[in-house]
Amino acid sequence: MLERVQSERIQSDRTMIDIRDVTRSYGSFKALDNASLAIREGEFFSLLGPSGCGKTTLLRMIAGFDTPTSGSIAVDGQPMDGIPANRRPTNMVFQSYAIFPHLNVEQNVAYGLKRLKLRGGEEERRVEEALAQVSLTGLGKRRATELSGGQRQRVALARALVMRPKVLLLDEPLSALDKKLREQMQVELRRLQQAVGITFVLVTHDQYEALAMSDRIAVMFGGRIAQVASPKEIYQRPVNRQVADFLGGMNFVKAEIVEENGASLVLDTLGFGRVRTDKPKSFMRNGGAATLGIRPERLRVLWDNATAKFEVAGKVVERHYFGEITHLIVEIAGLEKPLSVTETNDFGADDIPVGASIRLAYDPEALVAMAD
Amino acid sequence: MTATRRFLPGWLSSYATLYILFLYLPVIFLPIFSINTAATPKFPLSGITLHWYEDLPKTPALIDATWNSLIVGVSASILSTVLGILAARSITRYRYPGRRAINGLIMAPLVLPEVIVAISMLLVMLQLGLSLSLFTVVLGHVLICIPYSMTVLTSGFEGFDRSLEEASADLGESAFGTFRRVTLPMVAPAIISSLLVCFTISLDEFIIAFFLTGTEATLPIYIWGQLRFAAKLPGVLALGTLLLLASFVLMTIAEILRRRAARRTQNEGGLHA
């Protein structure tokens, strides 16, 4: 709770990175296609998408390692056109960490400071401070080749942060770590960002990572930005099936548009009947058909004689046990694809026999309308 | 099964001993006879002396040959290392059509018969109207040294993570600063190793030098000339011993450096080290 309050204090509405109509072509292939994006000061922003979606290309263009074919990028109001990487107010944490193997930890962290010719022990003080920020105090003399994966990552972070950049760019920084360490680093990275208040731009293909750490996320596919929103909105109100699918499981149900007005849609579906949903801001009608989506965990099993205002009945065809939860595959009359349902095991969902007839409750709020 | 297992270690170690003897026996004869008081290489030794070594610096023709060899060795090693750096960098860094073919063609002189290479180089030099001198020897040596230089440098450059140079630029360093503070220190051991290997090869090379030199002899040519006089044999043996020693030391240093360079660049990949 406290972190939320802090993050709102640090974040402002000032734009830190202004990306305008940026396209990057390689021959006839467009790695990035007319992308526009405004990343705010003090924000933890994630570029999320599958490999080849253009997220790394965009990050490298912000850093200055790649140049837009057209369009412009400005950092803190300064246009970056023609400014090489070594004169940009950005620093990067590389996917491979790029720790200089011929230098020790301290020398790695001090690498960029050497050029600044700081006086009176200022350099040593800043290196110490940066090492403390990433919990590496006392390891300054360690050789780069003697570090573990997690430690290398911390050195890479300290080396970038010690430069006090306006923007810290992170290129899949956690992908080389094992699961446990990755989850621990997610929390630490978020905490670090809150503490230093610097704008972080993270590139990742891991949706959970993006959801857990970001203030806002841009989901990208095939060189285009599909949606920019908060993690909650991206997860709950994806603009299309592609985004919905990438952000975890989603049941898709064919729907017919009956009525469309400014704020809401009325859809006819088999299975869920006639439903009224919020119309997404970016909804673009494409004929009379639409898709209705619902997340598996938003369908709840109704026990015994319990009733709900909104429910569907069906038959369990498969059951998969995952420890704290159970996945049920439920066939519903009229639906061409069975629904997948995630239920916690507190009430014995793991004991529902395959073949059982069950009823599922849902909140109409959880239904998302998507253009086909 | 157990019988063979019990028998094998003994058999294997005698095989290994013979193997090493076969490789190094001729080499061991050289220093042994070079300290013999008699001029004829025959056992038993008639006495031990360093006399032949003491005589070496008193031979003006030998001093000249040494100088020639040094000049040729230094020039050939620098030239082939520079050319090797360019080629190795291109082959390890960039992907382009014909990369493998070019690599193969550069490495080919390694397996060409040296006599043939020497004759064809002689023909080319004469066609070009170049008079034979140490300079033509240098050209010949560069040709045979480049494959070795390439081998050493490629293993030093391979796995050089490009993001190291990007990280340097990202941290504010200029292109020249990056070369000085990152690229050079990382590949320096490989470069020194290449220089040493090429120098050693040039120092020991006979056939090409023999064909391409004019009146100026290099050390191997001088040695060959001395072999005509039986009385000069111990001197030749002493000189040979020194050359052998120099080659051995240089190659050992080169190999240590090459390994260090390879470890430096390739360790970078081990994320869970």
Q: What is the DSSP string of A218-270?
A: EEEETTEEEEEE-HHHHHHS-SSHHHHHHTS--EEEEEEEEEE-SSEEEEEET
In tens, the pLDDT along A116-139 reads 888 888 999 999 999 999 999 989
Tokens describing residue B113:
């018969």
The pLDDT > 70 percentage for chain B reads: 92
Residues of B in contact with A176 (CB under 8 A): 271-272
Phi, psi (deg, nearest 5) at residue A257:
-80, 125
Say how far apart CA A354 and CA A31 lie, in whole Å.
Answer: 47
Nearest chain A residue to B181 by CA distance is A111
Q: What is the pLDDT of residue A169?
A: 97
pLDDT at position B2 over 60: no
Report yes or no: B163 at the A interface, CB cutoff 8 Å: yes
Is the four-CA dihedral B235, B236, B239, B240 of positive or negative sign?
A: negative
Position A2 confidence tier, pLDDT thresholds 50, 70, 90: very low
Q: What is the pLDDT of residue B268?
A: 45
Is the CB of B268 less than 8 angstroms away from the CB of A101?
Answer: yes
Residues of A in contact with B168 (CB under 8 A): 100, 111
Assess contact for B245 and B156: CB atoms under 8 A. Answer: no
Residue A152: HSE in the Cβ half-sphere, 13 Å Cα cutoff: 27
pLDDT at position A216 over 60: yes
Position B149 confidence tier, pLDDT thresholds 50, 70, 90: very high
DSSP β-bridge partners for residue A330: A316, A339
Average of per-residue pLDDT across A84-98: 94
Q: Give Rg (Cα) of chain A.
A: 24
Tokens describing residue A207:
């949706």
Position B3 confidence tier, pLDDT thresholds 50, 70, 90: low
Say how far apart CA B223 and CA B210 lie, in whole Å.
Answer: 11
Tell me the nearest-neighbour CA distance from B134 into chain A, angstroms. 39
Q: A48: part of which helix (H) or strand (E)?
A: strand A44-48
- Give which of A370, A347, A55, A107 is closest to A240, Cα–Cα: A370
Q: In the sheet where A29-40 sits, what is the strand order? A: A29-40, A15-26, A70-75, A78-79
The DSSP secondary-structure symbol of B242 reads: H
| Distances, alpha carbon A184 to alpha carbons A135, A150, A174, A181, A209, in Å | 13, 10, 10, 5, 11
pLDDT at position A5 over 50: no
What is the four-CA torsion angle of A109, A110, A111, A112, rounded to 10 degrees?
100
Q: What is the pLDDT of residue A308?
A: 86
pLDDT at position B266 over 80: no
Please list, in sequence order, all residues whose beta carbon lies within 8 angstroms of the beta carbon of residue B205, skipping any fewer than 6 positions away. B141, B144, B218, B220
Q: What is the pLDDT of residue B265?
A: 60
Position B4 confidence tier, pLDDT thresholds 50, 70, 90: low
**Model confidence, pTM:** 0.76
Q: Domains of chain A by range and CATH?
A: 2-236 (3.40.50.300), 249-371 (2.40.50.100)
Say how far apart CA A330 and CA B194 lie, in whole Å.
Answer: 69
Cis before B44 (ω within 30): yes
Is the four-CA dihedral A279, A282, A287, A289 of positive or negative sign?
A: negative
Report yes or no: B95 at the A interface, CB cutoff 8 Å: no
CATH number, domain B47-263, options 3.40.1160.10, 3.90.1150.10, 1.10.3720.10, 3.20.20.140: 1.10.3720.10
Average of per-residue pLDDT across A105-110: 95
Q: Pick from B164, B169, B172: which is nearest to A100 by CB?
A: B164
Report yes or no: B54 at the A interface, CB cutoff 8 Å: no
Q: Which of B95, B157, B170, B173 to mutate to test the interface with A (most CBs of A within 10 A)?
A: B170
Nearest chain A residue to B262 by CA distance is A101
pLDDT at position B197 over 60: yes
Average of per-residue pLDDT across A59-76: 95
In tens, the pLDDT along B10-53 reads 788 899 999 999 988 888 888 888 887 777 777 777 777 887 88
Q: What is the pLDDT of residue B253?
A: 87
Report yes or no: B204 at the A interface, CB cutoff 8 Å: no
Locate the domains of chain B by residue range: 47-263
Where do the H-state alpha helices sit in A11-140? Answer: 55-63, 105-110, 122-133
The crossing angle, in degrees rounded to 10, of helices B60-93 and B184-204 is 140
Q: What is the pLDDT of residue B239?
A: 85
Mean pLDDT of chain A, nearest integer: 90
Position B270 confidence tier, pLDDT thresholds 50, 70, 90: very low
Say how far apart CA B241 and CA B261 lie, in whole Å.
Answer: 30
Assess contact for B215 and B89: CB atoms under 8 A. Answer: no
pLDDT at position A217 over 80: yes
Say how far apart CA A316 and CA B261 lie, in whole Å.
Answer: 62
Is A204 or A282 the better-scoring residue by pLDDT?
A204
Residues of A in contact with B172 (CB under 8 A): 86-87, 112, 115-116, 163
pLDDT at position B112 over 90: no
Q: What is the pLDDT of residue B272?
A: 34
What three-state secondary structure class fits B25?
helix
Say how far apart CA A237 and CA A231 lie, in whole Å.
Answer: 10
Assess contact for B266 and B186: CB atoms under 8 A. Answer: no
Q: How far is CA A251 from the centre of its chain?
A: 21
Is the CB of B273 less than 8 angstroms away from the CB of A149?
Answer: yes
